[in-house]
Amino acid sequence: MTDFTEQLFGGSWTEKKLEILKNYLNSYNTALKNQPFKRVYIDAFAGTGYRQQRKLQYDNPDIFEELGQDESDQFLKGSAALALEANPPFDKYIFIESDQDKIKELERLKQIYPQKSKQMEIIQSDANEFIQKYCKKEDWRNTRAVLFLDPFATEVEWTTIEAIAKTKCIDVWILFPLMAVNRLLAKDPKKVFYDRLNRIFGTKDWFECFYKTQILDDIFGQSIEKIDKACNSASIANFYKSRLKTIFSGVAEVDKTFCNSRGSMLFHFFFAVGNPTGAPIAIRIAEHLMKKI
């Protein structure tokens, strides 16, 4: 039996995602540091500000990683902490989290980074509700922002994506949950999560793209309708990208698919730009980083 030792929980894709984000934040602030805009970083699912990395030891490649034994936990910098270390810095940091315990952990960032405590706004809220309200009330004539959407599952709704795009002032990184969405697209059409998928994609057109309808004759010569699932992770990602292109000034053609240690596709990393003037430069930087990492 093969010996699988010290597998990193979540795999190296977590490292790559955060490395891309970190480098983009530095490039973004460098490009805008002499511009008369307030620069804001928004983390919609901030968690604790740090991520937990587990080293697992097991000798059965078929068991779930979360069942591994002899776990030792390490707390490493997550997206919130990395943003606070961006150089040049942002003028404001907004960290959104719905869980009260994680909010308490986020508050500790003010002690860890005391020089930036006054620039931090830690919000306990549903991410969709807060972002939609924030996008409407902020003065975008004088503000530019980078938004990181890193949900646990399928929480991000299309109405939120639309609100972000309408500002024409936000660069957004979206970690799209491929595996979770694929599971909502059940093989049996009667078991498909229609309402949830409508909220994710903002349209009902996904059904025609992901399912094939055939008219067949039964043994009595009567016509029957047969519906089969006809999509995979790649087609799901492409459909979502095509939806982003309908509302953003620019969407990176180069993107990234993240897999777990068994090669199963977990997430797809998208980058979209609201501001038409800055879109070409922003996309060029994002695509360079995704090719490089």
Q: What is the pLDDT of residue 127?
A: 94
Q: For the chain, list residues with pLDDT below 70.
A: 1-11, 48-77, 216-224
The CATH number corresponding to 4-292 among 3.40.50.880, 3.10.180.10, 3.40.50.150, 3.40.190.80 equals 3.40.50.150
Return the domain boundaries, the chain.
4-292
Q: What is the pLDDT of residue 41?
A: 97
DSSP-assigned letter for residue 271: E
Q: What is the pLDDT of residue 152?
A: 76
Terminal alpha carbon distance of the chain: 33
Q: What is the Cα gyration radius of the chain?
A: 21
Residue with tokens 């009330």: 137
Q: What is the pLDDT of residue 218?
A: 61
Which residues are CB-neighbours of 102 under 8 A, at least 6 positions away? 46, 47, 48
